[in-house]
Amino acid sequence: MSFSHLGLSDKVLAAVAATGYTTPTPIQEQAIPHVLTRRDVLGIAQTGTGKTAAFVLPMLTILEKGRARARMPRTLILEPTRELAAQVKENFDRYGAGQKLNVALLIGGVSFGDQDTKLTRGVDVLIATPGRLLDHTERGGLLLTGVELLVIDEADRMLDMGFIPDIERVCKLVPFTRQTLFFTATMPAEIRRITEAFLHNPVKVEVSKPATTAITVTQSQVTSRSEPHEKREVLRRLLRDAKDLKNAIIFCNRKREVAVLYKSLQKHGFSVGALHGDMDQPARMAALDQFRKGELPLLVASDVAARGLDIPEVSHVFNFDVPHHPDDYVHRIGRTGRAGRSGTAISIVTPADQKSIVAIEKLIGQNIPRAEGNFASEAGASDEAHEPRSREAGRRGRKTGREGGREREPRHASTRHHAAPAPAPSQSQRAPQPQRSETRRPREADAEPADHSHLPAFLLRPVRARV
């Protein structure tokens, strides 16, 4: 079936044709006609299935009729993270280029004044994170009584981040007669409860079983001892020996570990960026932009980057830390092997990770084979001056429990901290610079010189020898 058979308008079809797409994905083929007939839709689909276009394209067709009013958006899309919200806006900009629609973002890290100005002009499409959206409603600058269509995207991620109470509040602020499109990759009990409460006789569109991994992704695991510096050495060997490595996302469980690993890879000559939830919004967007353009082939990230981000042609995903929750594994490795392309996902597994690996294998219904080759670190090979900090991070992570390793964007955080300076990892957004030579005597942990001889050229950044 072609897009022309789905009921989309001529303007939207022309925009789709201009992008080079000719055949809709299964979820687009099944969902778009129901959206156009104004039915509620419950979409269950993994990332990389074309889910975003499944609601963007019919919304553009619907919005060709009507006009926005000041402070009363016509449609509302809720996303769990700023990056996902910005990505959806890019889709509207791409496919709605021939239409005069006002599209606005309400996300943290941007001043309220600029956002209020856009709302005052009238908004056809409002894309928001839950916290910032409710902040605007409480300030009286936004009315949701004119919303005709509500989209709740990445609902299971909303659940993980603690946004379900906010979602319930938003659903009570929009008209009862609105159309609702609800998308999720998994259906835990709490998500099922929400769908039963706020969707009216929805059409269920399911294009893959919940919590399954793409068949185009080759998965494997590599064993390592638990010491952080040994895991880092194993990762470096994997990066050097990886076949067909074009670019890679490297996932850590904690934001602090992202900073340590980022600095370690930089020290060893890799061209690398960092991404996690404590970075300010411009730094986060700059890191993603550099990675998308290929300026940074490696990106160290926490789970803030794990779900829904459309980063084309990621060749490899490395789990530096095995995720504590099996669903996170599915979403992490879903960054590669997208749109029918092949991809590789490798997890570094320590003895402490065995229970998590068993739970992951049970969830995905298959064993994760061990990678061929010897990637184990050599005894006594310590490479970082960051080791004490890494151990401290581990202790703090154990004290804080689940929240110590989860990315959240709690309500009102953007109000209090939107002007906060970026943490250390945001340095990754600057253009790579040659390392400065140092006259200090290196600590014993730094004594082993970094070996760059086996690095592929595209992974290297300019490095001067230490003195």
Mean pLDDT, residues 316-323: 96
Q: Which architecture does CATH list for 217-415+424-459?
A: 3-Layer(aba) Sandwich (3.40)
Q: Which residues pair with 44 in a beta bridge?
A: 184, 206
Mean pLDDT, residues 179-197: 93
The pLDDT, as a whole number, for residue 413 is: 39
Mean pLDDT, residues 449-458: 54
The pLDDT, as a whole number, for residue 305 is: 60
Mapped onto helix, strand or coil, the DSSP state of residue 126 is strand
Lowest mean pLDDT among 226-230, 279-283, 443-447: 443-447
Pairing relation of β-strands 103-106 and 203-206?
Answer: unpaired
Question: 76-127 pLDDT, tens per residue?
Answer: 999 999 889 999 999 999 999 889 899 999 998 888 999 999 999 999 999 9
* CB hemisphere CA count around 189 (13 angstroms): 0
**Position with higher pLDDT, 436 vs 332:** 332
Length of the chain: 467
The pLDDT, as a whole number, for residue 132 is: 95
Domains 3-206 and 217-415+424-459 in one fold: yes
**Position with higher pLDDT, 183 vs 398:** 183
Mean pLDDT, the chain, integer: 82
The pLDDT, as a whole number, for residue 400 is: 40
Lowest mean pLDDT among 22-26, 351-355, 444-448, 462-466: 444-448
Question: 68-77 pLDDT, tens per residue?
Answer: 899 999 999 9
The pLDDT, as a whole number, for residue 210 is: 58
Q: Which fold has domain 3-206?
A: Rossmann fold (3.40.50)
User: pLDDT grade, residue 37 (50/70/90)?
Assistant: very high
The pLDDT, as a whole number, for residue 439 is: 39
What are the φ/ψ torsions at residue 295 (nearest 5 degrees)? Answer: -70, -30
DSSP for 242-299 reads -TT---EEEE-SSHHHHHHHHHHHHHTTB-EEEE-TTS-HHHHHHHHHHHHHTS-SEE
> What would the two tokens of residue 251 be?
């996932």
The pLDDT, as a whole number, for residue 161 is: 85
**Position with higher pLDDT, 426 vs 325:** 325
The pLDDT, as a whole number, for residue 403 is: 37
The pLDDT, as a whole number, for residue 361 is: 93
**Position with higher pLDDT, 39 vs 439:** 39
Question: 202-247 pLDDT, tens per residue?
Answer: 999 998 665 677 788 999 999 999 899 999 999 999 999 988 899 9
Q: Is it the case that residue 442 has pLDDT exceeding 60?
A: no
Q: Is it the case that residue 295 has pLDDT exceeding 80?
A: yes
Identify the helix (H) or strand (E) that includes residue 319: strand 316-319
Q: Domain residue spans in the chain?
A: 3-206, 217-415+424-459
Select from 61, 363, 357, 319 the least CA-distant residue to 186: 363
Mapped onto helix, strand or coil, the DSSP state of residue 33 is helix
Question: 333-349 pLDDT, tens per residue?
Answer: 988 887 678 899 999 99
Question: 353-379 pLDDT, tens per residue?
Answer: 999 999 999 988 899 999 876 676 554
Identify the helix (H) or strand (E) that includes residue 177: none
User: pLDDT grade, residue 307 (50/70/90)?
Assistant: low
The pLDDT, as a whole number, for residue 330 is: 86
The pLDDT, as a whole number, for residue 280 is: 79
Identify the helix (H) or strand (E) that includes residue 425: none
The pLDDT, as a whole number, for residue 303 is: 83
> What would the two tokens of residue 163 be?
């946004």
- Distance (Å, rounded) from C-alpha 101 to C-alpha 121? 11
Diameter of the chain measured on Cα atoms: 71
User: pLDDT grade, residue 408 (50/70/90)?
Assistant: very low
Mean pLDDT, residues 24-43: 96
User: pLDDT grade, residue 285 (50/70/90)?
Assistant: confident
The pLDDT, as a whole number, for residue 459 is: 63
User: pLDDT grade, residue 463 (50/70/90)?
Assistant: very low
| Strands in 50-178 per DSSP E | 75-78, 103-106, 125-128, 149-152
Q: Is it the case that residue 429 has pLDDT exceeding 50?
A: no
CA angle 18, 22, 28 (to 5 degrees): 105
Select from 159, 71, 187, 174 the least CA-distant residue to 121: 71
Q: Which of 165-174, 290-299, 439-448 has the highest mean pLDDT?
A: 165-174
